Structures are given as structure tokens and as C-alpha cells.
């Protein structure tokens, strides 16, 4: 048995430079659709028995490129979602946002930086 792990194509959130997690559910961008089309071409001669996908739109849309020509139902499972990043989801500059978050936490709780 072979298992292939595939990341979704570029989403609109990726295109905008946003950090994504579970709260935002962006569709694929035009580039992501082209990437998924090439993924379909890459896998067209391989036997696929099952397709499992996160229930988030970007992952589901990517999986549909593989499933439609084969008429295989996609098994959606929320346990396959990306991890949740809470308050920093949808941030553009995640590193800067993280630094600001840590600084606020240190200031509010009186924690001295190491």
C-alpha cells in the first residue's frame, strides 16, 4: 500500500500573504487551480482507492481535481485540518505579530524576557 500526502494548491489566503489555520476557509486561487490540474495530470496513471481530505475548502477543492475523473468520493475529515493558530490567524507578518503578542504577554504578566 502506498500513501501520498499532498498539500493543497495555493489559496486566496496564500496569495494575499495571510497566515492560515482553521478559522479562515479560503478557496483556491487561479494559480492553486492550475497547480491542482497539474497534480491531477501527475496522478492520472496511478491507481487510487481512496481520497481523504480536510474539510476546509482549499484542501477539498484540491482533492476534487483527483477525485472527479475517477468518480471517487472524497472522505472529508476535520481531523486533517491545519492546526489552529488562534489570534494570529489571518496576519500578514506572522513573525512580527508573534513578537508583539509575546511582548504584550510579558508586559501584562510581568514576565522578564530571558
| Residues with catalytic roles | 8, 82
- DSSP conformation class of 102: H
3-state helix, strand, coil in the chain (%, to 5): 45, 5, 45
What grid cell was written down for 105? Answer: 504577554
- CA dist., res. 53 & res. 75, Å (int): 6
Residue 105's CB is within 10 A of a number of other CB atoms, namely 10
How far is C-alpha 46 from the geometric centre of its chain's CA atoms? Answer: 24
Amino acid at each position: 500500500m502506498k500513501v501520498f500526502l499532498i498539500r493543497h494548491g495555493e489559496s486566496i489566503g496564500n496569495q494575499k500573504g495571510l497566515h492560515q489555520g482553521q478559522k479562515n476557509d479560503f478557496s483556491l486561487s487561479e494559480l492553486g487551480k492550475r497547480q491542482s490540474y497539474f497534480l491531477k495530470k501527475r496522478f492520472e496513471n496511478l491507481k487510487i482507492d481512496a481520497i481523504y481530505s480536510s474539510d476546509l475548502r482549499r484542501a477539498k477543492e484540491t482533492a476534487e481535481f483527483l477525485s472527479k475523473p475517477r468518480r471517487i468520493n472524497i472522505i472529508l475529515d476535520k481531523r486533517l485540518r491545519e492546526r489552529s493558530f488562534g489570534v494570529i490567524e489571518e496576519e500578514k507578518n506572522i513573525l512580527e505579530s508573534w513578537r508583539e503578542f509575546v511582548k504584550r504577554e510579558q508586559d501584562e504578566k510581568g514576565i522578564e524576557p530571558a
